[in-house]
């Protein structure tokens, strides 16, 4: 992105985590919006076959978390991992058969989510230790003080399409605009933690539950209309939040593909450009080449 920032003054902090196992309870079943019970894979562990650029919807899964689901077993350290890890941060597997392999943060959910090449991903297992090179919190745009930036690494900022336009607004390229009625679980939470689930992408449940979001992909940059995520997450007319889709299919009502917030401010501060190619998949190539 063609924009001035304080990226050269940010610090990098090395954080530790581990691949957390998928969890369940003895009740097993949940129910979909029409009351039908289901048991499906979703959160935790290592999820194969879903990467940036792949569709976020239509999977036989619930709260699908692509790649590695990472957290820390100590509460305070886990909060630090959530708050300080930013999209685009490099992650290195420290133990196990895939030790030395690199990936990158694609967002937060109940875990920090990490994408990496499939061949290396398939060699990682629950309990493997990972190192996150956290950098990005505190990032600010010199020409756009009204826009709050968060969860955004300098690498992600460089990748985003746009920049300061002739009118002084921040041009930002997005794959889709998300209407406010799509906002589900996650509203009311702090925007450095987890993400916002989007309703209206329930495959096979009829047009009455569709908001046109079925084409969303993991890693898509999106604009959330009338959403203020500067200091929390909530509905505020005249504000826009930019996010990155970091989680996939959900069957649970009120949940869905989820964007992690990266920018938020008055709608007039943004010039939103619809661009079907607005996806963060290119971060992998950049990060892997920079650390070859």
Rounded CA-CA distance 255/250 in Å is: 6
Same domain assignment for residues 154 and 269: yes
Same domain assignment for residues 107 and 165: no
176: closest CA among 250, 263, 273?
Answer: 273
Number of domains in the chain: 2
142 is a domain residue? no
Q: Which residues pair with 223 in a beta bridge?
A: 177, 242
90: closest CA among 186, 14, 174, 5?
Answer: 14
76: domain CATH number? 2.40.10.170
pLDDT in tens, 129-176: 999 999 999 999 999 999 999 999 999 999 999 999 999 999 999 999
> pLDDT-derived band of residue 207, with 50, 70 and 90 as boundaries?
low
Same domain assignment for residues 125 and 157: no
pLDDT for res 184: 94
Same domain assignment for residues 14 and 131: yes
252 is a domain residue? yes
Same domain assignment for residues 209 and 239: yes
289 is a domain residue? no
| pLDDT exceeds cutoff 70 at 279 | yes
Q: What percentage of the chain has pLDDT greater than the value 70?
A: 95
Domain stops at, among 107, 136, 165: 136
194: closest CA among 132, 118, 107?
Answer: 107
Same domain assignment for residues 128 and 157: no
Strands (DSSP E) contained in the chain are 13-19, 30-31, 37-38, 46-47, 67-71, 90-93, 102-108, 112-115, 129-134, 148-149, 162-164, 170-174, 176-178, 221-228, 234-247, 258-266, 270-274
pLDDT in tens, 76-123: 999 999 999 999 999 999 999 999 999 999 999 999 999 999 999 999
189 is a domain residue? yes
Residues 6+ apart with CB under 8 A from 115: 51, 52, 66, 67, 103, 104, 106, 218, 219, 284
Residues in the chain: 292
Backbone angles phi, psi at 147, to 5 degrees: -100, 125
Residue 117: domain span: 7-136
281: closest CA among 196, 176, 175, 150?
Answer: 175
pLDDT in tens, 6-42: 999 999 999 999 999 999 999 999 998 889 999 999 9
| pLDDT exceeds cutoff 60 at 205 | no
Q: What secondary structure does DSSP assign to 3-15, as a single string?
A: --BSGGG---EEE
> pLDDT-derived band of residue 200, with 50, 70 and 90 as boundaries?
confident
Residue 195: its H or E element = none
Same domain assignment for residues 181 and 74: no
């Amino acid at each position: 992105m063609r924009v001035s920032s304080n990226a050269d003054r940010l610090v990098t902090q090395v954080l530790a985590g581990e691949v957390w196992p998928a969890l369940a309870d003895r009740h097993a079943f949940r129910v979909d919006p029409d009351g039908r019970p289901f048991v499906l894979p979703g959160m935790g562990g290592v999820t194969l076959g879903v990467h940036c650029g792949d569709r976020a919807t239509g999977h036989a899964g619930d709260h699908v978390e692509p790649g590695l689901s990472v957290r820390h077993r100590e509460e305070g350290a886990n909060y630090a991992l959530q708050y300080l890890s930013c999209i685009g941060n490099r992650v290195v597997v420290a133990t196990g058969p895939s030790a030395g392999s690199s990936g990158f943060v694609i967002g937060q959910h109940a875990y920090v989510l990490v994408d990496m090449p499939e061949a290396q991903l398939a060699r990682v297992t629950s309990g493997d230790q990972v190192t996150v090179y956290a950098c990005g919190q505190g990032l600010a745009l010199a020409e756009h003080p009204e826009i709050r930036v968060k969860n955004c690494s300098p690498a992600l900022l460089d990748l985003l399409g746009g920049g300061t336009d002739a009118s002084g607004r921040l041009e930002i390229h997005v794959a889709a605009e998300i209407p406010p009625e799509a906002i589900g679980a996650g509203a009311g939470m702090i925007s450095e933690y987890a993400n916002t689930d989007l309703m209206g992408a329930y495959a096979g449940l009829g047009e009455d539950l569709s908001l046109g979001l079925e084409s969303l992909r993991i890693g898509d940059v999106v604009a959330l209309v009338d959403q203020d995520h500067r200091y929390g997450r909530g509905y505020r007319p005249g504000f826009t939040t930019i996010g990155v889709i970091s989680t996939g299919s959900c069957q649970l009502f009120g949940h869905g593909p989820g964007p992690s917030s990266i920018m938020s401010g008055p709608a007039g501060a943004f010039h939103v450009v619809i661009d079907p190619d607005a996806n963060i998949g290119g971060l992998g190539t950049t990060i892997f080449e920079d650390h070859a």
